[in-house]
Amino acid sequence: MIELSSTPLVIIIILGIVGVILPVINVIRKEKGSNSFYAVIAFAALILSIGYVGYQFVSDNILPSALFSKEVIVDDAFGGFFAIAMLIVAIFTTVGSFNYMRKQSYPSIYYSLILLSTIGMVLVAYSTDLIMLFVAWELMSIPTYALVGFIKRNPTSNEAALKYFLFGALSSAIIIYGISITYGITGSTNIGEVIQGYSNLDPSLVPLALLSVGMFIAGFGFKMGLVPFHQWLPDTYDGAPPTITTLLAAGTKKAGFAATIRIVVLGMVVLNLDWTLALGILAIMTMTVGNVAAIMQKSLSRMLAYSSIAHAGYILIGLAVAPHSSLGLQGSLYQILNHAVMKGMAFIAVAGIVTTLAVTNLDKLKGLGRKMPITSLGLVISLLALAGVPPLAGFWSKLMLFGGALDATSALWWAPWLAIAGVLNSALSLAYYGWIMRRMYFEGEREKRVKEPKSIIAVVIFSIIFLVGFGVYPEPIIQFVELATPVVSTTVMP
Amino acid sequence: MVNELSDFVLVSIALLGIGIYGLAVKRNFIRMLFAIEIIINAANLNMVAFGRFLPDSGGQTLALFSIAIAAAEVAVGLSLIIVAYRMYHNVDVADFRSLKG
């Protein structure tokens, strides 16, 4: 029996009640505007939830990373880690929307959908049962379809939403088919029992098991933006409202990784198969395609979208070497947290630029460093952190990832190539990030400073403190990551 | 006559194939949505059949969840398609080309 004070339940209760009540308040108050009223309520609910997760960590009420449980959800450190990352992203989105939503209608529904989607993301990380995982996955996805198409009169927003919906629905169809096969061959939907069932499988059923794991990788890969499944991603990130792009790039993508770690990586260890090579090839393809395509982009949000594809590749390195090196998976988790903050801040900065100047084209960003100094500084810091420049937080996570790849060399002859590809790709990405910085600071005429939105400045300053602070002194975060990382090599059910 | 488990699984695989074919070939959003629905229903058939032959009630539970969720998903998808139809008076994928690069 799950206790009522367990973290996922409390998060469902807080965010669910507030998320359902917001539209009701709107109906009762019978008014259209007053965006900030709803934003403050949503913000308070998110802060309360993240505070509760933090309190549970501090007071040691959370189990060590269990990964398996007889229940449908487990209150473990792995889920808590992802919950913190996703709640940070949801807070970024809410705060960043203070300004962006001022010109749009129906703010209450907008914030309510953000809260409901956040519940889904958090539950994906906590769930240990395939039914729960699927329900949480859909709870995460369905509000985001509506949010991407939220600006009804805008054709690009609608087109982005339709593309996203089509691929998202296909991904959930593939996942449910994979679940049905898994259920058929193992007779259970509990992830622990499924993996135990996999490990003593009749040899004639092994191809079916492979098919089901392949379907999981494909289904989750659509959301993560791995390379054969990435076509929708740049269009959607470009056409969606930039604040919602933050939620997609930094939030739903990470939920895909949480689900993959829960199912695929553990299944991979037990099935004793060479999935590692397949994941390694996917990682290298994803990094290279993302970075090469990013160089050719003319629009800032599109370029960041391709760079977020590339980052899915870096994170996948850690998953590929997970059976042979614990450092790799730790690096993945660390990179997931860092990427949530870095990409979140970058897209919020884009939202700020769009609301004040209404441009995303790279050529029109000339002289931005003088027009919007704080936003530009935030963008520069997040880009440098994305590239992995040393004193920032992004450096340590990449170091751990590549170190994990080298660490696995004794078992996997091709593992060093992952590290080499990662380093080369980081160098390549620095090239196009450098382009943007040059445009912002060294080109264009002297222009007057524009008034920057306060909410966006708040997000930017918080992220700068996070990235620089934990870059200079990474010890606490590394300990947190070590606490949250499951030990993969001993996957025997208790 | 009693149906074997393999009959159900074969039908389900055939439905999966039809769904993927429909997604690959059709260029109309509503038809593509139907194709996805066919895949989801193939999975439902699988789960109910496995639940019947295992025997275990979990499969039917999962199928009920999946039907309810698919309905919610289709509601959102159709509303997006209606918005698109009001703008373009067409729901053909080829007409959606404002995002490129």
Residue A248 falls inside a structural domain: no
Q: What is the pLDDT of residue A102?
A: 79
pTM, two decimal places: 0.92
User: Which residues of chain B make contact with A181, given a CB cutoff of 8 A?
Assistant: 46
Of B66, B79, B80, the CB nearest to A176: B66
The runs of H, that is alpha helices, within A321-372 are 326-357, 368-371
Of A142, A176, A187, the CB nearest to B43: A176
User: Which residues of chain B make contact with A184, given a CB cutoff of 8 A?
Assistant: 9, 46-47, 50
Residue B16 falls inside a structural domain: yes
Residue B100 falls inside a structural domain: no
Q: What is the pLDDT of residue A493?
A: 40
**pLDDT of A491 higher than 50:** no
For A332, how many CA atoms within 13 A lie in the half-sphere containing its CB? Answer: 29
Residue B101 falls inside a structural domain: no
pLDDT tens digits, one per residue of A70-103? 778 888 888 899 999 999 999 999 998 888 887 7
Considering its fold, how many domains does chain B have in total? 1
CB A418 within 8 A of CB A287: no
Residue B99 falls inside a structural domain: no
Nearest-neighbour CA in chain A from B35: distance (Å): 9
Residue B97 falls inside a structural domain: no
- CA distances A343 to A163, A382, B6, B82, Å, are 22, 7, 48, 32
Q: Check which CATH number belongs to the domain holding B28 and give it.
A: 1.10.287.3510
Surface-to-core class of residue A29, CB atoms within 10 Å of its CB (0-12 exposed, 13-18 middle, 19+ buried) = exposed
Q: Which residues contact A38 (CB under 8 A, 6 or more apart)?
A: A22, A25, A26, A107, A108, A110, A111
Residues of B with CB under 8 A from a CB of A: 9, 12, 16, 19, 23, 29, 32-33, 36, 39-40, 42-44, 46-47, 50-51, 54, 56, 58-59, 61-62, 65-66, 69, 72-73, 76-77, 79-81, 83-84, 87-88, 96, 98-99, 101
CB A182 within 8 A of CB A175: no
Token pair, residue A23, equals 């539209």
pLDDT tens digits, one per residue of A187-246? 888 888 888 888 788 888 888 888 888 899 899 999 888 888 888 899 899 889 889 999
Token pair, residue A313, equals 């590749």
Q: What are phi and psi of A153, to 5 degrees?
A: -80, -5
Residue A436 falls inside a structural domain: yes
Surface-to-core class of residue A274, CB atoms within 10 Å of its CB (0-12 exposed, 13-18 middle, 19+ buried) = exposed
Nearest-neighbour CA in chain A from B39: distance (Å): 6
For helices A300-320 and A326-357, what crossing angle results, to 10°? 170
User: Which residues of chain A make contact with B80, given a CB cutoff of 8 A?
Assistant: 145-146, 149, 158, 161-162, 165
Sign of the dihedral through C-alpha A60, A62, A65, A66? positive
Confidence of residue A107 (pLDDT cuts 50, 70, 90): confident
Distance (Å, whole) CA A289 – CA A336: 20
Considering its fold, how many domains does chain A have in total? 1
Q: What are phi and psi of B49, to 5 degrees?
A: -65, -45
Range of the domain at B14: 5-90
Nearest to A251 by CA among A355, A162, A352, A140: A140
**pLDDT of A294 higher than 50:** yes
Range of the domain at A405: 274-494
**pLDDT of A389 higher than 50:** yes
Q: Which residues contact A117 (CB under 8 A, 6 or more apart)?
A: A139, A140, A143, A144, A147, A247, A251, A252
**pLDDT of A494 higher than 70:** no
CB contact under 8 A, A156 and B58: no
Distance (Å, whole) CA A488 – CA A485: 9
Residue A388 falls inside a structural domain: yes
CB A212 within 8 A of CB B79: no
CB A463 within 8 A of CB A382: yes
Q: Which residues contact A116 (CB under 8 A, 6 or more apart)?
A: A15, A16, A19, A139, A143
ipTM, two decimals, is: 0.94
